[in-house]
Amino acid sequence: MSATAILLAAGGGTRLGRGAKALLPYRGRTLVEHLAGELRAGGCTDVVIVLGAGADRVRRDCRLDGCIVVDNPDWESGMASSFRAGVAAAARAETVLVALVDQPDVSADLVQRLLQQHRPGRITAAGYRSAGPAQAAPS
């Protein structure tokens, strides 16, 4: 199964007060570099990264080789606009995995397990001590 990851990395990090979330340091790299690496190592053949806040700086300062980088000019309107931009860039994907740049504990192992559990035509979601995530389906 071929899987494309959409990494939502457009947030401005205003609550953190440190600029674009994608550029935050994590284990010697930036969050966006770390997550893109984990998604690839976990089995995603393509990684679409959606940028917004600080997009020019992210492109300049981060190693995103082999990733499909998409700008979301409407990033301030919320995560849904970034999701739409990512889905548009991954329109031909057989399977799509969505990840958020501010969740650095998403590991290659977790990505592998999600992809192994996934069944075509179904929604597969990670959960932790929950009754399940909120889901939206086309009407």
Question: pLDDT tens, 108-121?
Answer: 999 999 999 998 88
| Whole-number Å distance between alpha carbons of 57 and 49 | 14
The total number of structural domains in the chain stands at 1
Domain containing residue 23: CATH number: 3.90.550.10
pLDDT tens across 50-81, in order?
A: 999 999 999 999 999 999 999 999 999 999 99
pTM: 0.88
Determine, yes or no, domain membership for 134: no
Determine, yes or no, domain membership for 58: yes
Determine, yes or no, domain membership for 97: yes
Write the single-letter amino acid at 6: I
Determine, yes or no, domain membership for 48: yes
Determine, yes or no, domain membership for 104: yes
Determine, yes or no, domain membership for 136: no
Structural domain including 30 reads 3-113
